[in-house]
Amino acid sequence: MGWTMRTDSTLSPTVDRSESLRHQIYNDLREKLRHGQIGPDDRLIDVKIAKSLGISRMPVREALLQLISEGHLVGTTRGFAIPQLTPQDIRDIFEVRKLLEPRAAASAARDIDAEGLAALREALDRAVAAVANSDVEELVAANVVFRRTWLDANRNRRLAETISRFADQAHIVRDETLMDADTRVIVRDGLAGLYDAFSRRDALAAQDRMAAFIGEAEKSYFHSLEAKVGDSGAGDDEAGSGKS
C-alpha cells in the first residue's frame, strides 16, 4: 500500500510541526478508510509508515492511536487494523445514525448555501454515472462527497463529526452491500431524494428521507448477511451429505 501526504510549507513558525504532521497523517488515513483503501487483511505498522514518509515514528503513532480512540482501528499483535464488527455492533451503529442523521439533515436543509447545493448536485451526478457503469469505487467516492457536503452545512460541528465518525465505522456495510446492483440503485435513488429535499430547503422532507435512506441501508446489509449465512449453511449441508 502506497502512502502520500501533503506537506504545507506555509505553516507559521509558531505551529508545532509534530502536531501538524499528526493531523495530516490522521486525515490521510481517515480518507483511505472512508474510500475502502484499507482492507480487513491490511496491517498498519507505524514504523513502516513513518519510514515511507521520511518522518519520525511519533506523529504516525499518535495518529493511529487517535483512530483507535474513535473506533476506526484496533491494535493487534501485527500492527493496527480495521475492527471486525459483529452484527450487534452494526445494529448499534445504525441505531446511533438513525437517532442523529435525520435531525442533522433537517438542519442542513435550512442552512446549506448555493455552493453546497452545487457540490451535492455534482456528487449526485457522479453517483448516477457510477451506477450506470457499475463502478462501485466511484459510487463510494460520490457518496462520501455527498455526505461530507451536507454535514458541512451543519452549524453544530460536534454533531457533524459524531455522525461522520459512526458512518465511517460502518464501512463493512458498504463493502457488503454495494456489490449488489439493486442496492446501488437504492443508494442512487436515496441520494436523489435527499438532493431534492436539500434543494427545496425542505427540512421535514430531508429528515424523513434521511431516515428512510438509513433504514434501507440497514435492511440491505442484514439481507446480504442472511443470504451469506444461508449460502454457507447450504455448502455445509452439501459437504456433509457427500460424506455420508
Q: What's the pLDDT tens digit per position in 121-172?
A: 999 999 999 999 999 999 999 999 999 999 999 999 999 999 988 888 777 6
CATH superfamily entry for domain 87-231: GntR ligand-binding domain-like (1.20.120.530)
The helix (H) or strand (E) run that includes residue 200 is: none
CA–CA distance from 67 to each of 55, 121, 174, 197 (Å)?
19, 31, 19, 33
* Per-residue pLDDT, 7: 40
Residue 231 CB coordination number (10 Å): 10
Cell of 176: 457488503
Q: What's the pLDDT tens digit per position in 189-221?
A: 999 999 999 999 999 999 999 999 999 999 988
Instruction: Compute the C-alpha angle 237/243/244, nearest 5°.
Output: 90
* Four-way CATH pick for 17-81: 1.10.10.10, 3.80.10.10, 3.40.1190.20, 1.20.200.10: 1.10.10.10
17-81 matches 87-231 in fold = no
Closest among 104, 94, 83, 109 to 167, alpha carbons compared: 94
- Domain map (residue ranges) of the chain: 17-81, 87-231
Q: How far apart (Å, rounded) are the C-alpha atoms in residues 59 and 90?
A: 31
Among residues of the chain, what percentage have pLDDT more than 90? Answer: 61
Q: How far apart (Å, rounded) are the C-alpha atoms in residues 13 and 16?
A: 8
